[in-house]
Amino acid sequence: MCCRKIFVHHRCGHNVTSVLEGCEKAECQSTKDKPIISNKYPCVYPACEYYGMFD
């Protein structure tokens, strides 16, 4: 099963970005979403008070 990591901004909760980690099966059709709360990426929503901020 493949895993899609969805990075969520730790202050506002907006989805910031996602990374798809494939498994080794070429015929794999299933993907599991895994939300990760992080301050690794800034918020990308212009209307948000945390826009462009990591913290």
User: Does the pLDDT of residue 52 top 90, yes or no?
Assistant: yes
Spatial contact of 15 and 45, defined as CB atoms under 8 Å apart: no
Spatial contact of 8 and 44, defined as CB atoms under 8 Å apart: no
Domain that holds residue 38: 1-55
Q: Domain total for the chain?
A: 1
pTM across the whole model: 0.80
User: Does the pLDDT of residue 32 top 80, yes or no?
Assistant: yes
In whole angstroms, give the CA distance from residue 30 to residue 1.
Answer: 6
Q: Which of 9-13, 16-20, 28-32, 33-37 has the lowest mean pLDDT?
A: 28-32
How many contiguous H segments (helices) and E segments (strands) does the chain have? 0, 3
Mean pLDDT of all residues in 18-39? 89
